[in-house]
Amino acid sequence: MPICDTCGAHLPDGITCEDDFLQFLYWEFENPELLPAHHLMVLCYHIQHPHLYSEEALKLAHQLLKQFVTTDITPEAMRERMKALVDSGKRQNKIRGTTNNHGRYPYLMPWTTHARDVVLAGPACYVESIHAWAQSVFKTLVLENILA
Ligand SMILES: [Zn+2]
């Protein structure tokens, strides 16, 4: 089974993590009741594919994940904070990872949940799956001393 070089997910032939990301967007589009999980999904996906963010944006993303996982933040407040992340990126043009400035980890993080697991669990439990994914991503970052 092929493996994603970036996050270590085991993938079926011909499928990439990006395909899984697009699947989530499609599910959210089809089922608006899934939308409250959108920002958390985007965070988890990018944190596990850190080169998509600049170094600065990855650090901010870790802090946002921590706030989302450790507090009772509402989806609305989450949207506002994500907007702040995107806006700070716009101001400095630094949210997206580039060849010279992109997020990374010192080694492949031993993630216990990947986008693939959320896909396999199916759209019916999407929101629960995204929350479980976020918890697992947070736990791994703490265990690996990336996030205090
Ligand atoms: Zn991946």
Tens digit of pLDDT for each residue in 74-115?
Answer: 878 878 887 877 776 666 557 889 998 999 999 999 999 999
Determine the distance separating the centroid of ligand 1 and the alpha carbon of 16, expressed in angstroms. 7
Structural domain includes residue 5: no
Determine the distance separating the centroid of ligand 1 and the alpha carbon of 46, expressed in angstroms. 9
Structural domain includes residue 46: yes
Structural domain includes residue 6: no
**Which amino acid type is present at position 54?**
S
CA distance 85 to 64: 9
Question: How far, in Å, are 4, 16, 20, 28, 29 from residue 69 at the CA level?
Answer: 25, 27, 22, 21, 24
Render pLDDT for 58-82 as a digit per residue (tens, 0 to 9): 998 999 999 999 988 887 887 888 7
Structural domain includes residue 12: no
Neighbours of ion ligand 1 (CB under 5 A): 4, 6-7, 9, 17
Structural domain includes residue 60: yes
Predicted model pTM: 0.91
109: containing domain: 19-143
Number of helices followed by number of strands (H, E) in the chain? 6, 0
Structural domain includes residue 99: yes
Number of domains into which the chain is organized: 1
Structural domain includes residue 55: yes
